[in-house]
Structure 1
Amino acid sequence: MLSSSGTLAFSTTVTTNPTLGGLILTSNRAGVVGLQTAVFLLEAGYNVTIVAKHFPGDQTIEYTSPWAGAQWRPHSTVDEPEQCKWDLETYEHLMSIIKEEGNHESSRDLPKSGTSPHPPTNVWFSQLVPSFRYRDNIPPKTVGLPDHTNVSGASFRTICINSTAYLHYLLARATSLGAHTLRRSLPTTSGLKAALDDLSTTTLPSPISAVVNATGLSALALVPDPNVYPIRGQTVLVRGEARAAVSLERGATASSPESVSYAIPRPGSGTTVLGGTKEAGRWTAEAEKETTAEILERCRALVPELLTGVGREGRMEFEVVDECVGLRPGRKGGPRVEGEWLSVEGGKDVWVVHEYGHAGGGYQNSVGSARKAVKLVGEGAKGRNRSRL
């Protein structure tokens, strides 16, 4: 089974094993990073309660994960070794699931090709994923570029994820392992301490002694962390599943800005996500018609097999199912996955593991990031036990 990225609702609670007492996983949406962490905590013997404002099946701009294109396409570079490690761990984990169960409705092993006006160099995973090869002298017309354009790229085996199905899978996996769920919105604007004090008034399966703060964009006000910011992404969902995942990076020119176009099939859904935009600092929730038109035009050459509708003057067009907007949880300095002690009401110290700021890499970071978070939870338990000696 594979999962999609997204943000958790303000609190996903996780209760603990006997060595830790009570553990709470907090977030604002039950997204891929938090849900994956909950699953691993449960598998490690913790009792988990997921406290969230939004759960799989909800559709709101506050809930990032369902809107994700959701494929394995690393944004990490050789200068970010920890994120590279997370990406590879996620790839291997998802591939192992596919091998065990075959292509699941929520994920599929598919060809992936990426092209760029600039030759790809120093791709850190070139020796680590199947069928990787560099491609030079790609005919410009095959990707919708002018004849004089130099186009090169790479292809490899990737994993595409039906984000909605994957989120439901992760939640079902968590509940089958004994997770409790609590739909609740906490006062994120008053700080993490106030949110935990508020939650302490709720009857939970066990006392809170540790917290996984997987709050996504809410960490901006909740922690507060001024390094957190939105990265607006607009996509178009069209009818039909593309034969492969495709992306095209276009460098800036005198007449147009830098852009990335992509097509990501959603396995089992009969649809494909076309994109997209990466607009740092924008909070606009509504889809913009001009942007939709630009995305559709840019993607025509990438997946011509999906041009099944007939538009004006007999021109073949995409059949648009939906226009989507999501806000990726960006963070200056990259994801924050680390622990700290926090004093709450009554003078009690709670071990907080922060896990947020994955930007557009939530799905492909999720397994590696979650494993680190689980390790940090264990370190907090050891620290608590040592303090009692």
Structure 2
Amino acid sequence: MTSNLAPPRQKHIIILGAGITALSTSLALHNLKHIAKSSTPFAQTIIAAHLPGDSSIDYTSPWAGGHWRSHASTADLESESRLRKWDKRTYEVWMEMLEDGRLSEDEINDLGLGIRESRNYWAKETAETTRDGSGLWWSKERELESDDEPVDSRSVKAMKGGGVKDFAVLDLASEKSIGVENIPDGAVFGIKYTTVCINIPQYLSHRFRSAKDRGTTVIKDTVDTSAGIEGVVKDAKRILISQNREAQEEDIFAVINCTGLGARHFVGDEESAKLYPVRGQTILVKGEALKARSYVEFGEGTEEDELLYVIPRPGSGTTILGGCKQKGNWSGDVDKVLNGRILQRAKEYGLAEELRTGNGREFEVLGFQVGLRPGREGGPRMEAEKRKVDETWLVHSYGHSGGGYQCSAGCGEEVAEIVLGLEHEVFA
């Protein structure tokens, strides 16, 4: 006996943006059918004005450093608890990808991630510089808060663990006497641990290709933001339907807003006022540093928002030197004076001596870059609108500031869980 019931129509999800948050969200949504038995696999479409390979001050992801270094505090606050969970999950995902043996050496090189030692130094005492390392939540094994329990069972064991690999508080006096590593003059505290460094252009392109290979469609277009969130949802649906003849408006289940600072143009005045840029400026130099290194809390006065970091880009033969965190600065212009300070500090504090291969033991500078991290008062916004917008769910994921990469896998999974919850609510 055959059934005359037509198969359920495929539901569509539109993702706005093509930065690391959007791409990680797309990949997490593709995993839903594996981890949660979603009733109908979603067809996904990314709509974005800028894609990997593009250069624009309005497209933040290509300009990142970057490596895994959580900036979430130990505070007993929901916002910090969520950051800790996302950052920890991303560390786990990256380490699993690099260490579980499923990827060949060529595949790892194509991925753009690499395991390195990181050494971090402080010039002043802060809440992070406790002598037992407890000021850094990721310093040791610890139980996560009860509301941090994972939704599925994929990583229960891993999520119960706390610390990153090989964490240790450094005995700076002993380190100086040994003389293997340069210790910055004035440093009062230091740590080392195993991190994951990122070849940003490579990794971003890899995530983009992976999403497309899994079935995500990409439309390069600009969504009209002049009519607020309802106008954005309407125009996103219009763009999808104009490009996909099989898609019908009633099939579009959700729009996911991963537009970073671009969200300020349509989320409403109250929410828009919470968004601000955190300007960063870095220098790309020849050579791949042996370790990631940083030195913070040395700046005073007009230089208080400056720091020094050295981040190798695995497999590229290059390294990023930075930088600054200039809150509220919208300028995309390269500050030549700041460039001079970055290079001088790298030499003065000796954090990248192996890269001083140019004439006169100078760094061989390959380029400069400026990016605007998408800051938000109160931390990232990760939630669905309480009511549908133009008969479609709208989910937000933006405001990750300088932590977009290091929380990307965890954030993507939480957005997927939000979408799954909406689906179960509708189709229960």
The residue type paired with residue 356 of structure 1 is Y
2:385 is paired with a residue of what secondary structure? Answer: strand
Residue in 2 aligned with 1:53? 49
- In terms of fraction of residues, the more helix-rich structure is 2
Give 1:171 shift: 1.1
Bigger Rg, which one:
2
CA contact (8 A) 1:235 1:273 kept: yes
Q: What is the CA deviation profile of residues 267-291 of structure 1, one whole-angstrom value per residue up to 9, with x for unaligned ones?
A: 1111100000100001101111101
CA contact (8 A) 1:190 1:221 kept: no
**Aligned match of 2:116 in 97, 110, 119?**
110
2:391 is paired with a residue of what secondary structure? Answer: strand
Residue in 1 aligned with 2:412? 370
**Aligned match of 1:153 in 171, 190, 198?**
190
More displaced 10-residue stretch of structure 1: 100-109 or 321-330: 100-109
**Aligned match of 1:125 in 133, 138, 150?**
138
More displaced 10-residue stretch of structure 1: 33-42 or 94-103: 94-103
**Counterparts of 2:346 and 2:55, CA distance in 1:** 25
Residue in 2 aligned with 1:25? 15
* 1:177 has 2:205 as partner: no
**Counterparts of 2:197 and 2:401, CA distance in 1:** 18
Give 1:258 shift: 5.3
Residue in 2 aligned with 1:232? 279
Residue in 2 aligned with 1:11? none
Residue in 2 aligned with 1:12? none
**Counterparts of 2:235 and 2:302, CA distance in 1:** 53
TM-score norm. by structure 1 comes to 0.87
How does 1:264-343 map onto structure 2 within 5 Å?
264-300=311-347, 301-310=350-359, 315-343=360-388
**Aligned match of 1:222 in 253, 263, 266?**
266
Q: What is the CA deviation profile of residues 294-352 of structure 1, one whole-angstrom value per residue up to 9, with x for unaligned ones?
A: 11111121101101111xxxx311111111000000000000101114555xxx42111
**Counterparts of 1:287 and 1:326, CA distance in 2:** 10
Q: What is the CA deviation profile of residues 150-199 of structure 1, one whole-angstrom value per residue up to 9, with x for unaligned ones?
A: 43210000000111111111111111111111000112343221122222
Residue in 2 aligned with 1:3? none
Residue in 2 aligned with 1:87? 87
CA contact (8 A) 2:10 2:43 kept: no
2:351 is paired with a residue of what secondary structure? Answer: coil
**Counterparts of 1:150 and 1:72, CA distance in 2:** 22
1:104 is paired with a residue of what secondary structure? Answer: helix
Residue in 2 aligned with 1:66? 62
Residue in 2 aligned with 1:142? 182
Residue in 2 aligned with 1:356? 398
Residue in 1 aligned with 2:160? none
Give 1:254 shift: 6.9
**Counterparts of 1:378 and 1:65, CA distance in 2:** 26
Give 1:20 shift: 7.3
Give 1:18 shift: 5.4
Give 1:200 shift: 2.7
Residue in 1 aligned with 2:290? 243
**CA spacing shift, 1:375–1:256, aligned 2, 3 Å:** closer
The residue type paired with residue 96 of structure 1 is E
Q: What is the CA deviation profile of residues 28-67 of structure 1, one whole-angstrom value per residue up to 9, with x for unaligned ones?
A: xx11111000011122232211111111111111111111
1:166 is paired with a residue of what secondary structure? Answer: helix
**CA spacing shift, 1:21–1:256, aligned 2, 3 Å:** closer
Give 1:230 shift: 0.5
**CA spacing shift, 1:370–1:305, aligned 2, 3 Å:** same
**CA spacing shift, 1:78–1:174, aligned 2, 3 Å:** same
Of all paired residues, the percent bearing the same amino acid is 37
Q: What is the CA deviation profile of residues 111-162 of structure 1, one whole-angstrom value per residue up to 9, with x for unaligned ones?
A: 00000123522211111111100013354993443xxx34321000000011
2:43 is paired with a residue of what secondary structure? Answer: coil
**CA spacing shift, 1:19–1:158, aligned 2, 3 Å:** farther
**Counterparts of 1:341 and 1:349, CA distance in 2:** 12
Give 1:78 shift: 1.3
Give ranges in structure 1 of 5+ residues lacking alignment.
1-16
How does 1:245-260 map onto structure 2 within 5 Å?
245-253=292-300, 257=304, 259-260=306-307
Give 1:201 shift: 2.4
Q: Over aligned residues, Cα RMSD in angstroms?
A: 2.1
The residue type paired with residue 281 of structure 1 is G
Q: What is the CA deviation profile of residues 195-235 of structure 1, one whole-angstrom value per residue up to 9, with x for unaligned ones?
A: 22222323245332211111100111221322111000000
1:209 is paired with a residue of what secondary structure? Answer: strand
The residue type paired with residue 409 of structure 2 is V
